[in-house]
């Protein structure tokens, strides 16, 4: 290994930022399996049923070279109907799908205005794009509008692309989608909405932007590996956008197609999301409970969603607090820069149906006790 790699790893260690793979242990307050579907018997049954009817685990090639399976097309048809969009396109994962969207759709001479807290996959896609991009202040519609106005005043004549997450993965807050789509409408723009952490949970499972699906100037990304409990991602878009991705998106063209078996299982997950609304109700009640308990313990204002950041400050303090809670049987993880801004290292409290109300109360009591000691 090059010496530069060793030095870089040593530097991460000294700063308390070295990452390592850790086994699952304790009660789940860390995963994105919000509705508890990853281990649901119904999805296990769906896998067995798919295998019994001959669905293959592997695709054998890219979608354009014999890898296109009837299960992919069935999923895309059902997903378009479920999300009420014109079309859907299935990718192997959300990171790949985001990279494809941002590296392919905006053209030279366009402008991407993105929320400053948008996911790393969007940044990677923008780096591969031939398009100029500029950050807007987090959840500030005026900042988006001003960036487009300045660009137009400087001679920008292309398409303005507005890129946001509907629910932010580290802060748990929600984007002002109605304001942003209005800005897109008035500027001949396109709104790209990453629904990764809202899919399955909000809008009857269709996401926070469900009421915007089917519009000609809205593209949405729904990942399948979080609340849906499986893997992969679906891009919902107009026909022309889907066709353009199939023809131009290198992460789609040159990647082996996702597993047909997983496509079949995602189909089952969508049906489960629709047929079992009680899961969403239970999670909503869990969010209300945590909001009440956090207020009682004098913590910062609750996020109001199933993602609750517990801001600690320093990397070391966040790691120490996470380790203490893990020692008590709670699987909660510390999040540090560069994933979050400097000085905002935190515990990311992820609420799922994999923990009970009593276990959630116990976690927050332990957190209050440990913080009282510092």
Indicate which residue of 226, 259, 306, 345 is catalytic.
Answer: 226
Three-state secondary structure string covering 214-241: CCCCEEEEEECCCCCCCCCEEEEECHHH
Catalytic annotation, pick one of 169, 220, 305, 354:
169
123 assigned to active site:
no
Nearest to 212 by CA among 182, 249, 246: 182
The catalytic residue among 197, 222, 306, 350 is: 197
**What's the CA gap between 132 and 113, in Å, rounded?**
9
Active site residue 306: no
- Residue tagged active-site, from 69, 165, 213, 331: 165
**How far are the Cα atoms of 9, 47, 49, 57, 265 from residue 53, in angstroms, in the given order?**
48, 10, 6, 12, 13
Q: Quick one: 73 exposed, middle or buried, by C-beta within 10 A (0-12, 13-18, 19+)? A: middle
Annotated catalytic residue 297: no
* Catalytic residue flag (residue 6): no
- Catalytic annotation, pick one of 32, 121, 259, 350: 32
Q: Could you write out the DSSP letters of every residue in 319-373?
A: HHHHHHHHHTTEE-EEE-TTSS-TT-EEEEEE--TTS-HHHHHHHHHHHHHHHHH
Question: Terminal CA-to-CA distance of the chain, rounded, Å?
Answer: 41
CA distance 2 to 82: 50
Active site residue: 33, 71, 103, 119, which one?
Answer: 119
* Candidate list 194, 195, 315, 331, residue with the active-site label: 194
359 included as an active-site residue: no
Whether 130 sits among the annotated catalytic residues: the reply is: no
Q: How far apart are CA 102 and CA 81, in angstroms?
A: 25
Q: Please say if 165 is a catalytic residue.
A: yes
Which residue numbers are catalytic? 32, 119, 165, 169, 194, 197, 226
């Amino acid at each position: 290994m090059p010496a530069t790699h060793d030095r870089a790893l040593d530097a991460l260690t000294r700063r308390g930022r070295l990452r390592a793979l850790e086994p699952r242990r304790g009660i789940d307050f860390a995963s994105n399996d919000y509705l508890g579907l990853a281990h649901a018997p119904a999805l296990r049954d769906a896998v067995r049923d798919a295998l019994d009817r001959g669905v293959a685990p592997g695709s054998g090639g890219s979608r354009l070279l014999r890898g296109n399976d009837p299960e992919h097309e069935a999923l895309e048809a059902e997903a378009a109907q479920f999300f009420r969009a014109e079309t859907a396109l299935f990718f192997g994962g959300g990171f790949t799908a985001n990279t494809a969207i941002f590296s392919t759709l905006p053209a030279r001479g366009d402008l991407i205005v993105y929320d400053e807290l948008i996911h790393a996959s969007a940044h990677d896609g923008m780096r591969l794009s031939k398009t100029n991009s500029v950050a807007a202040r987090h959840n500030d519609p005026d900042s988006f509008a001003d960036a487009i106005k300045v660009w137009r005043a400087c001679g920008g004549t292309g398409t303005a692309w507005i890129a946001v997450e509907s629910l932010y993965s580290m802060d748990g807050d929600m984007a002002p989608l109605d304001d942003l789509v209005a800005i897109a409408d008035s500027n001949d723009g396109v709104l790209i909405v990453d629904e990764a952490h809202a899919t399955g949970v909000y809008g009857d499972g269709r996401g926070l932007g469900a009421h915007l699906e089917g519009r000609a100037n809205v593209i949405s990304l729904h990942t399948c590996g979080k609340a849906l409990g499986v893997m992969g991602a679906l891009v919902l878009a107009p026909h022309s956008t889907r066709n353009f991705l199939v023809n131009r998106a290198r992460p789609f063209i040159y990647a082996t197609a996702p597993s047909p078996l997983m496509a079949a299982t995602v189909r089952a997950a969508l049906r489960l999301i629709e047929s079992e609304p009680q899961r969403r109700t239970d999670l909503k009640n869990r969010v209300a409970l945590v909001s009440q308990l956090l207020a009682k313990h004098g913590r910062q204002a609750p996020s109001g969603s199933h993602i609750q950041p517990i801001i600690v400050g320093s990397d070391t303090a966040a790691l120490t607090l996470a380790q203490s809670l893990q020692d008590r049987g709670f699987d909660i993880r510390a999040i540090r820069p560069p994933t979050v801004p400097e000085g905002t290292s935190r515990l990311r409290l992820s609420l799922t149906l994999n923990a009970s109300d009593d276990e959630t109360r116990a976690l927050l009591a332990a957190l209050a006790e440990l913080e009282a000691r510092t």
